[in-house]
Amino acid sequence: MVKVVAGNWKMHHGPAAAERFFSRFSPSVEVGAVRMVFFAPDLSVAAAARAVRVPAEFGVQNIHWEAAGALTGETSAEMAREAGATLALIGHSERRHIFGENDAEVNSKVRAAVRAGLVPVVCVGELLEERRAGRLETVLRRQVGAFARSLAGVPESMVAYEPVWAIGTGETATPEDAAEAHGIVRSALGDLAGVPVLYGGSVKPGNAAALMSAPDVDGVLVGGASLDPDVFARIAEAGAGVRPGGPS
């Protein structure tokens, strides 16, 4: 399985900036050596998909679980798909901790993504106080347990392990920390053996290869370092150079 290198632009890069990004984004990777995904703001997905010049897939950063309705400001999975998205990020820590999304809502969104034919990319991860209290495994098993059954029989899905204390802080999990957490996620996924598990949290060009070489780390989900086309190209190149079992 090739590594997944996904960028989460968060609330950055409107349509014009997305076009500028792709006018410069040209990683030195062979076609098929890495799977590139961009989670763009809703309003930029179509412009990004038009402007891209390398093989890449696009996703939205959040969806509502209803297909349509009187839900001002929300976007449904079906609408995201119509705009050119083929994946949807669900349950990102910023959604959980800033907007108060809970496990049941995350599961409803996973089901909505599946209904619309979007690949759900579900985020899990512990707070620093949970890690310090020795609750890493309990938290990850609870978060994964809330949606795992909704992925059974689904053609494609992914999970992203993003320790909340490592997001946007410059603090990164060590490859050993990542391997431990990914092992827990994989075990909590049970029969869902083929689901790639990505690592996110202060991934940079300098640590990307080591993280992607860790056991059970199938790729990365990159925030800040995905905003600059040259920096993100170096992470894509790192992903293309990593073969299962270690760096090539």
Residues catalogued as catalytic: 92, 162
106-165 residues in contact with ligand 13P (CB under 6 A) are: 162
**Which residue in the set 41, 175, 196, 201 belongs to the binding site for ligand 13P (CB under 6 A)?**
201
3-class state of residue 58 by DSSP? strand
Cβ distance to ligand 13P smaller for residue 65 or 165: 165
Cα–Cα distance measured from residue 58 to residue 77, given in angstroms and rounded to the nearest whole number? 13
Nearest Cα to 53, choosing from 186, 233, 191, 248?
A: 233
| 6-21: b (≥16 Cβ within 10 Å) or e | bbbbbebbebebbbeb
DSSP states of 157-185 as a string?
-EEEE--GGGTTSS----HHHHHHHHHHH
CB 219 within 8 A of CB 239: yes
- How would you classify the pairing of strands 158-161 and 197-200? parallel
| Least separation in angstroms between CB 201 and ligand 13P | 5
Per-residue binding string, ligand 13P, 57-96, x by CB under 6 A, is: -----------------------------------x----
**Which residue in the set 62, 107, 202, 207 belongs to the binding site for ligand 13P (CB under 6 A)?**
202
- Cross-strand partners of 198: 160, 219
| Least separation in angstroms between CB 152 and ligand 13P | 25
| Least separation in angstroms between CB 73 and ligand 13P | 21
| Least separation in angstroms between CB 207 and ligand 13P | 11
* CB-closest chain residue to ligand 13P: 223
Cβ distance to ligand 13P smaller for residue 17 or 78: 17
DSSP states of 59-113 as a string?
EES--BSSSSSS-TT--BHHHHHHTT--EEEES-HHHHHTS---HHHHHHHHHHH
Cβ distance to ligand 13P smaller for residue 223 or 239: 223
Residue span binding ligand 13P (CB under 6 A) among the ranges 22-30, 68-76, 191-199, 223-231: 223-231
1-20 residues in contact with ligand 13P (CB under 6 A) are: 8
Torsion angle, CA of 197/200/204/206, rounded to 10 degrees? -50
**Which residue in the set 60, 121, 221, 238 belongs to the binding site for ligand 13P (CB under 6 A)?**
221
**Which residue in the set 91, 163, 196, 200 belongs to the binding site for ligand 13P (CB under 6 A)?**
200
**Is residue 178 part of the contact set for ligand 13P (CB under 6 A)?**
no
**Is residue 222 part of the contact set for ligand 13P (CB under 6 A)?**
yes
Region at 55 (left for phi over 0; alpha for psi -120 to 50; beta for the rest): beta
Residues in the site for ligand 13P, rule: CB under 6 A? 8, 92, 162, 167-168, 200-203, 221-225
